[in-house]
Structure 1
Amino acid sequence: MKKWYKRLHWQIIFGLILGLVWGLIASVAGFSAFTVDYVKPFGTIFINLLKLIAVPLVLASLIVGVTSLNDMAKLSRMGGKTVGIYIVTTVCAIIIGLTVVNVIQPGDFLPAETQQDLMSSYQGNLEGSQQTAQEVLERSPLSFFVDIVPENLFAAASDNSKMLQVVFVAILLGIGIIQVPAEKGRPLIDFFDAFNDVIIKIVDLIMLLAPYGVFALMAGVIVDLAGDDLGQALNLLGALGWYSAAVLAGLLLHVLVVYSSLFKMFSNMKLTDFFRAIRPAILLGFSTSSSAATLPVTMERVENNLGVDEEVASFVLPIGATINMDGTSLYQAVAAVFIAQALGLDLSIAQQLTIVLTATLASIGSAGVPGAGIIMLVIVLQAIQVPVEGIALILGVDRILDMCRTAVNITGDAAVSVAVAHSEELLGEMHLEDD
């Protein structure tokens, strides 16, 4: 039995803590530049390694899953359940966010002087986001479905933001393989099965670097936030403390209420056991702020620890990493109302219902857009006629909150995979590590 400090989740936690301490010391001692130049790059390398194997893993595992399924009716039923549950949990997240922000009223705690300082400091960061949001709004209503079908497999496979296109190609290849005679399709099935096993072994090797990568990522986050002036960063966190508290409270409520309810309806799994099984994936999601980068680890944990069958995990999780944004959608709701409160604007019930609809649609429509969180927020603010410039009020703490909402997004992906697997009778036994 492994000693507790040799377990992966504890090593990642140690990396997070040490990275936090390093970042704080670097800001106080004035060697932030050293951290950016010689520490942060190791975190970037770690993320790149995870992204490198995400597409091959999805392609191989999904082809193997489809060919083993050999049932088109079951495949379409699984797809309907997946998208349906994702949309329901997203709507629940937005409603929880609106409830929390209306109860706490964080905008009332932001002094006018601080508001002006934040607006002037971060105004320049909005130009590209507004333009991209406008392009998203001008797209055809069916653009989302058009974007699923790639015109070039290699172009889709070279961009992790186009994961749905890779899923589409993998399903198409899997269907094609099962349509040909068994003696012709078997070599391809054996190839992708072996290729999938190789990718899983590579995931295990990359995870040996996880504690060091997490350390470098966390140190980089703190330095980027504070620079060489830790006091300024602390003042910023203090000024936006109530807003940050509202977002975090909403995220916690969503996890405890929605996901625990999901387990009660679709399985007998305990929420605590669920978290024990996928801790490394959640911690990596928190560190990297990227569902796509964490996808290989999420798939490995969901299959090996939660007992979700490979054909479910390889189908549900890539879709979730692209369109399921529970944490991000909740943040949109809190941020939109907070900005309106800070600017002295009262939102009507109709406007808040518009937030629910717009944030739900935006979470799908802009999923493949880099920096999707801010892009989505621009779209939401435009829909309720709140000045987009107000986003400057929250950009200072967006990176930290992005880490938290990404962890919730990944938790949601894994939770939905458990629900779908249980409904399809493809949920096996859990395998939990001792703490």
Structure 2
Amino acid sequence: MHQTLGAPRRAPKGLSVSDTTTTKPQRRLWLPSFSVQVLLGLGLGVLLGWVALQMGDTAAGDANWLATTLDTIGSSFVTLLKAIVPPLVFLAIVTSIANLQKVTNAARLAWQTLLWFAITAAISVAVGIGLGLLFNPGANSTLSTEGAEAVGTTGSWLDFLNGLIPGNFLGLGAGTQVSADAGGGLAAKTSVSFSVLQIVVIAIVVGIAALRSGKAAEPFLAVTRSALTIVQKVLWWVIRLAPLGTLGLIGHAVATYGWDLLAPLGSFAVAIYTGLAVVLFVVYPVILRTNGLRIGSFFRGAWPAIQLAFVSRSSVGTLPLTERVVERNLGVPRSYASFAVPLAATTKMDGCASIYPAISAIFVAQIFGIDLSFTDYLLIAFVSVVGSAATAGLTGAVVMLTLTLSTLGLPLAGVGLLLAIDPILDMGRTAVNVAGQALVPTVVAKREGILDVQQYDSASAEDLFRDDVEDTDEDTGPDALRAGAGSDAAAADRREPVAVS
């Protein structure tokens, strides 16, 4: 006998209906929230780093087992994140261009992004120059200039053009490093690197070409969207390792970098971190409030990326997480975020390209007894605003600093004096870099009316791991951009976060 649709189900003999429909709930492993996990990793990393420091022999190549383990854990996590960057940037930008094909303000979004890059960089360099004159780090330093040597890596204004032109379709490069092995011989190590800026250029060209190809490119775009979904799922798995990566990164930092070297450069280090704090906790909040955005919501949403940037010291390594918090936590449409965040990761560096070179140039001038004129300070501001783009094909604040010093005609040997504590300063610089890289897309999206304001106001680190949200472009496509992602319809799909099993 067939049971009619909607009729109550008959239970087997001896069992009630409730017995057959009630299932035993699965036991789930309880874990603290993601933010708490990262903080626990940070605290445990500091403790293990201190233990490794007490064990001695923490120098590279001759480190004790604990320091080596911490280094391996931290570097492996950053390597995993960097491995995701090339496919993520390429696929996301090509997909975003396809989604923006019907948007009339796409060019305006790009120009607004570049404009706010320049505005925030100009404010940051003004803060750096002001604090440099206030602290007089070179005049108050006990550091000697004897034996100072110029560094081998320098920045050039031609680097921007060289960085734009891809050497191959994937924007990849290879280098060979020769070093002495344990037996006294020479060992060659070949490594593969990539330029995010070149990948951005390639992706933009491919995306535009796909649009111009019309229906013939639809299968390609379908595969691209599918591949992006897969890459984002892998990224989701890697980001879950952030607490473990934080443990290794901060532990290795505590065990390796000479905190005692801060003494002769104490005034300089205090000036740098004061400038970073002013930009992060004063300038950025003022910009947020001026644009009608809640300060607490921004830091609550962007904090996972800022935190990882501090311990990893890599804007590119943090790029996948930065893009995810901008989309998931801060409510920026993916179609815009997938373009703005990778571009910001290569050219938007308020810490490394504005605050640091401004204060460092003043330090080098003072320690070598060179007086700077008003024109020199204007040059510092100009280099800081434009120079980050000029060094986009390269990495590290040292390149930006050498570009600033060479433009001012200051001794490049001064850079060598600052390298001893550069890793310590680089933590704060990178955190501010990433905060700015999340800030600008959020502000531009708000000004253009495409920000999901309800999602922004309820930002939480746990939104990164909401299993109930599909990683699709349905809510961030052209229609959403035209209508404004802050509408009730866009916000109505939000659900409560689920437990991490």
> Does the TM-score normalized on the shorter chain lie above 0.5?
yes
- CA shift at 1:157, angstroms? 8.7
Give the whole-Å Cα distance in 2 for the aligned partners of 1:175 and 1:29: 57
Give the whole-Å Cα distance in 1 for the aligned partners of 2:461 and 2:126: 36
Q: CA RMSD in A?
A: 2.4
In the alignment, which of 160, 164, 167 is matched to residue 144 of structure 1? 160
Change (3 A) 1:189 1:164: same
In the alignment, which of 350, 353, 356 is matched to residue 326 of structure 1? 350
Give the whole-Å Cα distance in 2 for the aligned partners of 1:102 and 1:4: 52
- 8 Å contact kept, 2:365–2:371: yes
Give the whole-Å Cα distance in 2 for the aligned partners of 1:181 and 1:356: 45
SS at match of 2:89: helix
Change (3 A) 1:220 1:261: same
Give the whole-Å Cα distance in 2 for the aligned partners of 1:401 and 1:17: 20
Q: Does 1:195 align with 2:231?
A: no
CA shift digits 1:316-344 (9 cap, x unpaired): 00110001111112111011112222233
Of residues 332-341 and 11-20 in structure 1, the stretch that sits farther from structure 2 once superposed is 11-20
Change (3 A) 1:353 1:364: same
Query: Aligned pairs, how many?
Result: 409
Change (3 A) 1:107 1:199: same
- CA shift at 1:99, angstroms? 0.4
Match for residue 364 of structure 1? 389
Change (3 A) 1:334 1:161: farther
CA shift digits 1:135-169 (9 cap, x unpaired): x25x3xxx634642425212449876521222222
- 8 Å contact kept, 1:9–1:283: no
Of residues 192-201 and 412-421 in structure 1, the stretch that sits farther from structure 2 once superposed is 192-201
Higher RCO (CA < 8 A, seq sep 6+): 1
Give the whole-Å Cα distance in 2 for the aligned partners of 1:384 and 1:144: 19
Match for residue 30 of structure 1? 56
5+ unaligned residues in a row in structure 1: which ranges? 227-232
- CA shift at 1:358, angstroms? 2.2
1:147-162 alignment, distance < 5 Å: 147-156=163-172, 161-162=194-195
1:69-148 alignment, distance < 5 Å: 69-71=100-102, 73-111=104-142, 114-116=143-145, 120=147, 123=148, 126-129=150-153, 132-133=154-155, 136-137=156-157, 139=158, 144-145=160-161, 147-148=163-164
Q: Does 1:380 align with 2:407?
A: no
CA shift digits 1:36-93 (9 cap, x unpaired): 4332012111111000111111111222211111147533222211111111211111
In the alignment, which of 411, 432, 435 is matched to residue 459 of structure 2? 432
In the alignment, which of 156, 162, 165 is matched to residue 198 of structure 2? 165
- CA shift at 1:356, angstroms? 1.1
Give the whole-Å Cα distance in 2 for the aligned partners of 1:379 and 1:178: 39
SS at match of 2:300: helix
Q: Which has the larger radius of gyration?
A: 2
Match for residue 476 of structure 2? none
In the alignment, which of 302, 310, 329 is matched to residue 326 of structure 2? 302
CA shift digits 1:174-224 (9 cap, x unpaired): 222233344x33322222222222122111211222112111111222232
SS at match of 2:230: helix
Give the whole-Å Cα distance in 2 for the aligned partners of 1:76 and 1:162: 24
TM-score by length of 2: 0.76
SS at match of 1:346: coil
- Greater helix proportion: 1
Change (3 A) 1:434 1:331: closer
Q: Does 1:212 align with 2:279?
A: no
Match for residue 49 of structure 1? 80
